[in-house]
Amino acid sequence: MSKVLDDRALANNALLALRRRPSLFTLPDGTSVRIPKAAVDGLIELLTAAAEGDEATIVRSPRELTTQQAAKILNVSRPTVVKLIDDGVLPARKVGSHRRVPLTDLLAFRQDVVAKRRAALDELTTDAEELGLYD
C-alpha cells in the first residue's frame, strides 16, 4: 500500500476512535491528558482532511491584535488605529505600554465600516445617475 493510502487508512481509524469526541486521552506511559474541545475539533478536522486525501493547514487566530495588525485588517494606517482607540471608537486594553485590540471587536468594527462605505459608494452612483453626471 502506498504511503498516501496508508495515511488515509490511519486517519480513518483515528476518526473512528474519536467519533464521540473524547476529551480525555491516555498516553503510552499511562498518563491521562485532558484536551480542550476546540483542540479535539481541530484534530478531527485535520484527520478528516487526511482521510479524504486533502491537505489541511492550521491558521492561528489570536484573540487580540497589535495596532499594526489591526491597521492591516482595517486597511488604515497605524496612527489611525491609535486614534480610534484613543477616541473610544475601537475597544482595546493596555499590555504594558502597548495596546491590544480584541479580534471580535475589530472584525465587528470592520464589518460596520465596510457596510457604511459600500452604502456611500452606492449612493455616489445613484446620485450621479440622477444628477446626469454620466451623460
Partner 1 sequence: MNQPVAVLDADVLVPVLVCDLLLSMFDAELFQPAVSPTILAEVERTLIADFPRLDPDGLRRRVDAMARALALHVHDVTQDNDAALAGINRKDRHVAALALTQHTDLVVTNDRRLRREINALSLPLRALSADEFVLRLVLDTRTQVDDVIDELVTKRQRRPVTRAALLDQLAVALPRAIAEMRSAD
* Cell numbers at 107, concatenated: 472584525
CA–chain centroid gap for 102, Å, is 12
In whole angstroms, the minimum distance from the beta carbon of 125 to partner 1 comes to 5
Is residue 38 close enough to count as binding partner 1 by CB under 8 A? no
With residue 46 as reference, give the H or E element that holds it.
helix 37-51
* Cell numbers at 79, concatenated: 496612527
Taking residue 17's Cβ as centre, other Cβ atoms within 10 Å add up to 10
In whole angstroms, the minimum distance from the beta carbon of 117 to partner 1 comes to 5
In whole angstroms, the minimum distance from the beta carbon of 87 to partner 1 comes to 11
How big is the site for partner 1, counted in residues (CB under 8 A)?
Answer: 28
Is residue 117 close enough to count as binding partner 1 by CB under 8 A? yes
Site for partner 1 in 95-114 (CB under 8 A): 113
Task: Select from 74, 85, 92, 101 the one that contacts partner 1 (CB under 8 A).
Answer: 74
Three-state DSSP class for 47? helix
Task: Select from 18, 44, 49, 76 the one that contacts partner 1 (CB under 8 A).
Answer: 76
Sign of the CA dihedral with 113 first, then 114, 120, and 123 last: negative
